[in-house]
Chain A
């Protein structure tokens, strides 16, 4: 069964460093998302991406965050200057169409020290 794949599974970074989290969405999907889950808390929406542009973003997704689809398969989340509070599990997700099932990857654990 097709799946969303994410790398790395776990990354430890120094505060202030840049981090890029990578995702390969399901191949024929058109909508892409990033969510995050701080340990012990609910899953929070960060950003949605469709037709090569951001379609919606949350208040969390401030200027230090950016997303890119550099080629036909990858979808990346960049955090420019990491803060301690960015420590969380980051999930990439995709769906074929808006209003359809959204499939999530296994997540990337980010620990900022």
Chain B
């Protein structure tokens, strides 16, 4: 498998529920970033977590990072229909910051 693999590949939930998406990676990282992409649109940056951080919050988003397990999770609380999108984790390994993306998770939030 490749750097930045998310699971599940698709997630369907009811509005108001929480959505948890996971990402695993293979090599040591410098940073891990989560992005959202609405269909056919650009990548919107959600949150960056550094390798020496374990948890970060931004509004309804909570990201955790476990470098011992080489994994990260993105939690969206109290989901809304507008959260329907694809979510990607992306890692970089150094100052050059080249990002390696996973295949993404398709989140559907039913009104």
Binding site for B on A (CB under 8 A): 31, 33, 35, 41-45, 48, 50, 55-56, 89, 91, 93, 95, 98-107, 109
Contact = CB atoms under 8 A, between A and B. Distances in A.
A55 B95 CA distance: 11
B100 interface: yes
Given A45-B99, A99-B31, A104 B45 contact: yes
Interface residues of B, number: 25
Q: Is the interface of A mostly helix, strand, loop or mixed?
A: strand
Contact of A99 (B40, B41, B95, B104): B95
Interface stretch (B10-18, B20-28, B64-72, B86-94): B86-94
Contacts of A101: 33, 45, 48
Given A44-B101, A48-B98, 18 more contacts: A33-B98, A33-B99, A41-B103, A42-B103, A42-B104, A43-B88, A43-B101, A45-B98, A55-B96, A56-B98, A93-B43, A98-B95, A99-B92, A99-B94, A101-B48, A102-B97, A107-B41, A109-B40
